[in-house]
Structure 1
Amino acid sequence: MARASGRIIKNPLLSLTPSPRSLTQLFSSVSPLPSLCSSKKTSPSLSIFFLSFLFSFTFLGISIFIFFPNSNDSIRCTSIESPAISPISPHSLPSPYSKIILASLLSGLNSNNEIQPRIGGTSMVPLPVHLVSGNLSEQETEFWKQPDGNGYRPCLDSTMGYRKRSAKILIEKNRFLVVVAAGGLNQQRNQIIDAVVIARILEAALVVPILQVNMIWEDESEFSDIFDVEHFKKTLRADVRVVSSLPSSHMVAKQTIATQIPYGVPPSWIRAKFLKQLNQEGVLVLKGVDSKLSKNLPSDLQKLRCKVAFHALRFSKPVLKVGNQLARRMWIEGPYVALHLRLEKDVWVRTGCLTGLGPEFDKIVTGIQKSQPQYLTGRVNMSSSQRRLSGLCPLNALEMARLLKALGAPKTTRFYIAGGEPFGGTKALAPLAAKFPNLVRKEMLAHDGELSPFLNSSSALSAIDYVVSFNSDIFIPSHGGNMGRALRGHRAYMGHRKSIWPNKRTMLPLFDDSSIADEELSRITRSVHSKSMKPEPRKKERDRDVIAYPVPECMCRHGSAIF
């Protein structure tokens, strides 16, 4: 099998942060060029002297920025398109600093050398994708190829009517919305996003959401443990007033908690149901808002959803620091694929599926399913085999290995394994490791004690997985789920990085058919998953969230406005 090697280009955002404006101001303030151009009489020798001085000073300025980098905190902007394709080869530049300069130049260009608009410093910025080279087969080259963004860029500019209403909403001091978010990390993210939108609909101030203690994972994390509270408030200051706690004037001994909200309600339902109570009591407490708000909202509210998801909900500094460190350790070795494998015991129980590890493990899962049927999610009248063929089960390690091989992944590919501890331990991953031995987990990447502060927080560990997966060259989930959908949209929003969504309903019958030759299986598999090579519009389908499909509501082909 041919070995794919990655041409490593250091991320200029880690060390180089001067903006074009600061460079212009720096050079214009001291450059002799204006006086040279405005002088009526200038001797040739004097002109040559000034030009030589100018070029020398410019080179000195660039050298200063390279050898004395600023901190990450000074980042103000980054390009939208990742430099996946470039006509310039880094091998023509011998020094590591030359590669940094090259990456800096490439980060502002797309494959057509067009200048890209810039995203504000509120976004989590991914490391550049790698330029993969080597003696690759056609299938392997296709596997590493990045999508064509078709010119779609983040576009969150709001309407004049929205901005006019903001003036009143942002000074609201009499009505407050409190939201209790339950579930795992990404389920909580969804509820926080909708909490902001509901606060906007009701024109109420939003109290920083409360994260309910997770009884399954025994996670007692608070909002500030997982997310950057001040960043959250600051990013949303033009949309919703966010406060840390209820004022004493609104504290009551017993507060009514609204939990009976149907799925997919429009803004008009929210106003009709809660506005009167909010005006009378001054406080509204909502619980269980996940997926309750309609996926099809007015344009301004869809853009607000994207603003919360891709800008405001930045992870806390301790979580982000460790996540970025692990991502860099993966990235510096070359291109890598992030696999979100849902092989935990609770996933098998909730989905009503079998593990594929044999009778011993399947007996444990079916026993829990029978004794605790409340954990089973939907379609209780289907057998495990029917669920599998309907695409309702996670791909197990063997099925994922077959999919990756059919997609053209080289055997030497490095995989970051995101997700909890697989049920069955190393046995659960053995079929995948046999085909692709370079499997890495966060515990293998982390230095001694690096993960210790987060060992009692499943949400923090999931957030670290999210960051490493976000920075990968390719992301593939074994099952749908909230994290997979969130990363799909986030990666599209930040430069159309490749995400492959397994079409299980099509592929599993093919995997079960031993008469299909490997070449034919590979051809079909690559054809079925060709959608990963271009932006996929949301199409206003009932179950399609703008967070997973930001095109076209949150991304457009014209204009450069971000907020």
Structure 2
Amino acid sequence: MVNSRSSSHLRGSATSKFCIKTSPVSITVYILFIFAFSFIIFTLYTREILNEEQKPFLLESEAGKIADDRLWGAPFSHGFHPCVEPTPAYKEPQGWDHYITVRSNGGLNQMRTGISDMVAVARIMNATLVIPQLDKRSFWRDSSVFSDLFDENHFITTLQGDVKIIKELPKELEIVPRARKHFTSWSGLNYYEDMTRLWKDYKVIHVAKSDARLANNNLPVDIQRLRCRALYYALRFSPSIENLGKKLVERLKSRGGRYIALHLRYEKDMLSFTGCTYGLTDGEAEELQIMRENMNHWKMKKINSTEQRLGGFCPLTPKEVGIFLQALGYPPSTLVYIAAGEIYGGSNHISELRSRFPNVIFKEMVAAPEELKLFTEHASQTAALDYIISVESDVFIPSYSGNMARSVEGHRRFLGHRKTITPDRKALVEFFDKIERGELEEGSLLSSIVKKMHKNRQGAPRKREGSLPGMKGRGRLRTEESFYENPFPECICSSKTHS
């Protein structure tokens, strides 16, 4: 009985406690609350729908910008800058009562780097450097003298705190006996300090060759920085070359805003020297073979062209370059400037590139005939125009790793790691041959392969590479990466290091 009553009492209590008394006012407030809540939910939902509708367009725009940056943007190089100032231990030139005369051998860039080496050698040996004689006996047979190609006075004054440089040997020394030397290639500081013993018997040393006379590595930082000051600041082209070069760069920029400088080393001398005949007619291949046999200083007489190509030792053909550029993602409208001499086979071969990239341009198409008249008979001077245009280009791509390619790449690294794409020729040939055999089609798959293959071959900051593994003796020095191809770290500093 007690439990029954208690239960009944609790049920009555609960009913009375939770009973809500309704009124017109409370109903109205409740309806307004529901309406406001629904409106907020509707607004948020609508905004989300609009955002989702706009999202594809934003992503498409962002994707376009990212793709554009990948094609034209320079590799990440924030905080890196040229550093060529001497260290506190560097002293003013002393004495200089001995003289070095030089015959610079090779083409334009071989001579430029050789002259820069000779500046450093003169500094090490405490000698006065006489303005070098330029090569007139090479394949190009260029009659240019130093002042035709370079700003002679600028060269002398820029380096006056480093080395004494004079235009001519003093008259009284022209008839004295000279020590004629072929300095050993890639020699270091000790070698040249030892060579100073020659001053006991001679007032003048004549250097028969200037190319690659100085080591790439293990030199004092002040000597390395002097090489950079000589090459990038002192060895400026003559005013006529500089002025026309800058005009041509401006004209190219005005055509499309951006351009690729393609060093297409598909020239007669290079194809003959390397023995590369792929893509040529039988008649062209025979002509190159005859030329090769007649050049006494080209040591390798018999070359297997197929082996050369498979080993990556041949310049890419114009057709291969076209496939390569397309696979990288450059559109057909891209402006491609050919930084090279006469392409072997002329229009027959260049058409294989132009069919994919119609805006292929040579210097003759951006310069008036009268502007080029002074340079046409001088291969080194026309090469200097190509050098300026290549250094200032948005993207530089060499089809072969020769002196020009290495020099331009090094200069672009020095100026801020401007984008330089170096084709992996050995790897690319495998895919080019698959295309020829019908085993691979041009398209997204090839593009993906080529982009991945060259992701880390675009001129981003890195230390200079040493000799190849397993190399011993002096032979290893030949395999080191050229100082002038990558002057990091001696001449390029990061914000975390002191200049």
Common fold: TM-score over 0.5: yes
* Partners of 1:350 and 1:375 within 8 A in 2: no
> Residue 546 of structure 1 aligns with which residue?
483
Deviation string 1:334-375 (CA, Å, 9 cap, x unpaired) is 100000111211111111111513222112212333x32635
- 290, 303, 323: which one pairs with 2:225? 303
Query: Which stretch shifts more, 238-247 or 435-444?
Result: 238-247
- 184, 209, 212: which one pairs with 1:291? 212
Inter-CA distance 349–382: structure 2 relative to 1 (3 Å threshold): closer
Unpaired segments ≥5 residues, structure 2 = 1-60, 468-476
> Residue 180 of structure 1 aligns with which residue?
103
1:372-521 matched pairs, under 5 angstroms: 372=294, 374-376=296-298, 378=300, 382-514=303-435, 515-517=439-441, 518-521=443-446
TM-score (norm 1): 0.71
**Alignment partner of 1:153: what SS?**
strand
d(CA) in 1 for partners of 2:142, 2:104: 13
Q: Which amino acid aligns with 2:192?
A: I
Q: Which amino acid aligns with 1:534?
A: A
RMSD over equivalenced CA pairs, Å? 2.2
Deviation string 1:361-397 (CA, Å, 9 cap, x unpaired) is 112212333x32635455x565111111111111110
> Residue 352 of structure 1 aligns with which residue?
275
- 451, 459, 463: which one pairs with 1:537? 463
Inter-CA distance 533–187: structure 2 relative to 1 (3 Å threshold): closer
The answer to whether residue 289 in structure 2 is matched with residue 366 in structure 1 is yes
- 238, 244, 251: which one pairs with 2:167? 244
TM-score (norm 2): 0.80
d(CA) in 2 for partners of 1:507, 1:309: 33
**Alignment partner of 2:100: what SS?**
strand
Q: Which amino acid aligns with 2:239?
A: K
Deviation string 1:273-319 (CA, Å, 9 cap, x unpaired) is x3122343211110113113211122111111111111111100011
Bigger radius of gyration among the two: 2
Q: Which amino acid aligns with 2:173?
A: H
- 151, 160, 185: which one pairs with 2:88? 160
Q: Which amino acid aligns with 1:156?
A: V
* Partners of 1:226 and 1:316 within 8 A in 2: yes
The answer to whether residue 134 in structure 2 is matched with residue 197 in structure 1 is no
d(CA) in 1 for partners of 2:445, 2:241: 44
Residue 556 of structure 1 deviates from its aligned partner by: 0.8
d(CA) in 1 for partners of 2:148, 2:483: 26
> Residue 246 of structure 2 aligns with which residue?
324
Inter-CA distance 304–540: structure 2 relative to 1 (3 Å threshold): farther
* Partners of 2:96 and 2:126 within 8 A in 1: no
> Residue 229 of structure 1 aligns with which residue?
152
* Partners of 1:345 and 1:422 within 8 A in 2: yes
d(CA) in 1 for partners of 2:397, 2:429: 16
d(CA) in 2 for partners of 1:493, 1:206: 26
d(CA) in 1 for partners of 2:408, 2:169: 33
Inter-CA distance 279–528: structure 2 relative to 1 (3 Å threshold): farther
Residue 471 of structure 1 deviates from its aligned partner by: 1.2
* Partners of 2:177 and 2:202 within 8 A in 1: no
Q: Which amino acid aligns with 1:182?
A: N
Residue 459 of structure 1 deviates from its aligned partner by: 0.6
**Alignment partner of 1:453: what SS?**
coil
Inter-CA distance 374–521: structure 2 relative to 1 (3 Å threshold): farther
Inter-CA distance 533–349: structure 2 relative to 1 (3 Å threshold): closer
Q: Which amino acid aligns with 2:481?
A: R
Deviation string 1:125-166 (CA, Å, 9 cap, x unpaired) is xxxxxxxx99959655521222111421111132232x23x2
The answer to whether residue 150 in structure 2 is matched with residue 213 in structure 1 is no
**Alignment partner of 1:416: what SS?**
strand
**Alignment partner of 1:502: what SS?**
coil
Query: Which stretch shifts more, 509-518 or 202-211?
Result: 509-518
d(CA) in 1 for partners of 2:213, 2:397: 27
Residue 218 of structure 1 deviates from its aligned partner by: 2.1
Inter-CA distance 420–382: structure 2 relative to 1 (3 Å threshold): same
* Partners of 2:111 and 2:210 within 8 A in 1: no
The answer to whether residue 483 in structure 2 is matched with residue 558 in structure 1 is no
Residue 187 of structure 1 deviates from its aligned partner by: 0.9
Q: Which amino acid aligns with 1:366?
A: Q
1:85-124 matched pairs, under 5 angstroms: none
d(CA) in 1 for partners of 2:243, 2:252: 14
> Residue 70 of structure 2 aligns with which residue?
142
Give aligned pairs, total: 421
**Alignment partner of 2:280: what SS?**
coil
Deviation string 1:171-198 (CA, Å, 9 cap, x unpaired) is x341111111011111111210111011
* Partners of 1:350 and 1:377 within 8 A in 2: no
* Partners of 1:306 and 1:546 within 8 A in 2: no
d(CA) in 2 for partners of 1:505, 1:138: 29
* Partners of 2:179 and 2:204 within 8 A in 1: no
> Residue 447 of structure 2 aligns with which residue?
522
Inter-CA distance 473–377: structure 2 relative to 1 (3 Å threshold): farther
Deviation string 1:438-461 (CA, Å, 9 cap, x unpaired) is 011111111230011112211100
Inter-CA distance 496–135: structure 2 relative to 1 (3 Å threshold): same
**Alignment partner of 1:537: what SS?**
coil
Inter-CA distance 451–266: structure 2 relative to 1 (3 Å threshold): same
d(CA) in 1 for partners of 2:168, 2:62: 56
Residue 215 of structure 1 deviates from its aligned partner by: 4.3
> Residue 265 of structure 1 aligns with which residue?
187
Inter-CA distance 373–246: structure 2 relative to 1 (3 Å threshold): closer
> Residue 30 of structure 1 aligns with which residue?
none
d(CA) in 2 for partners of 1:137, 1:367: 51
* Partners of 2:107 and 2:138 within 8 A in 1: no
Residue 263 of structure 1 deviates from its aligned partner by: 2.3
* Partners of 2:278 and 2:306 within 8 A in 1: no
Inter-CA distance 560–307: structure 2 relative to 1 (3 Å threshold): farther
> Residue 55 of structure 1 aligns with which residue?
none
d(CA) in 2 for partners of 1:305, 1:539: 18
d(CA) in 2 for partners of 1:193, 1:312: 9
Identity, in percent, stands at: 34
Unpaired segments ≥5 residues, structure 1 = 1-132
